[in-house]
Amino acid sequence: MRAFVFPGQGSQKVGMGTELAAASAAARETFEEVDEALSQNLSTIMSEGPAEELTLTENAQPAIMANAIATLRVLQHDFGVSLTGAGSCVAGHSLGEYTALCAVDAFTLADSARLLKLRGQAMQAAVPVGVGAMCALLGADLEAAQELADAAAEGDVCEVANDNDPSQVVLSGHAAAIERAVGMVKDFGIKRGIPLPVSAPFHCSLMQPAADAMEEALAETSPQALALPLYANVIAALVDDPAVEQRLLVEQITGRVRWRESVLAMRASGIEHFIELGGKVLGPMIGRIDKEAQVTSAITMEDLENLAKEIG
């Protein structure tokens, strides 16, 4: 059994999708459709930069989705691999959940792009720049990270935002609390605390204004039937009901990305092979979560050709 998984923010880089677009009409058409949906030449920012513009949350989120869907469409159209034929389920890390929903036809590509543009804008606007921050804890399990967050809060918001793998947990909240947490890591047996170069404190309660904005947007553009079931971030469990997923997408804005638990749940359900499309970020995480899991990450035409042979 196979799961197709899709990366989240931080996987963007200038030049993304350029090789696919040069080699495949399916990729070019994907990028053109996203540009048209956003009334923005996002594909040029993706291919040429500048990096500061691509990194803006409102650009990074639809760009990462567009690149992953282009990768999927090349796999489908150029190499004849059917997602529903080859896969048993899908999942995505944070914004990657929207990519996963697009992949299983719950959202159109145009709607996915517009929703992620809005999501990025709403998340950026929710907290003034400088008020919030995030940090990655290396060599930390969930229990140690939670104890550190509780100790560092001191009346501020300091919450576990991402449980990525057994050795990496991310905290999010007020900048002062995150700074305290980084300074206290050794007291909790954690190897390192690294401030993250993000513009807002994602996946914590400070994001409530963004959750409200997405609730309104998703009421107007709601998910449709899923061609394959999805493992949702905030519950780390299988979802196949569009109405339930609509609610979970709202909760996801302030809720924890339970990626480690999601991978373990997929493994428990019989998933043996994880295929990451459009990035090489989730693959290493999955390997750290379960060394027995088979992982393939595909970005290039060569990657996709090899993948098609492997699963064909």
> What HEC string does 190-209 produce?
CCEEEECCCCCCCCCHHHHH
Direct distance between the N- and C-terminal alpha carbons of the chain, in angstroms, rounded to an integer: 13
Helices 57-77, 301-311: axis angle to 10 degrees equals 50
Residue 270: how many other CB atoms lie within 10 Å: 10
Is the CA virtual torsion 86, 285, 208, 213 positive or negative?
A: negative
Q: Residues with catalytic annotation?
A: 94, 203
DSSP, residue by residue, the chain:
-EEEEE--TT---TTTTHHHHHH-HHHHHHHHHHHHHHTS-HHHHHHH--HHHHHSHHHHHHHHHHHHHHHHHHHHHTT---HHHH-SEEEESTTHHHHHHHHTTSS-HHHHHHHHHHHHHHHHHHS-TTTEEEEEEET--HHHHHHHHHHHHTTS-EEEEEEEETTEEEEEEEHHHHHHHHHHGGGGT-SEEEE---SS--SSGGGHHHHHHHHHHHHHS-----SS-EEETTTTEEE--HHHHHHHHHHHHHS-B-HHHHHHHHHHTT--EEEEES-SSHHHHHHHH-TTSEEEEE-SHHHHHHHHHHH-
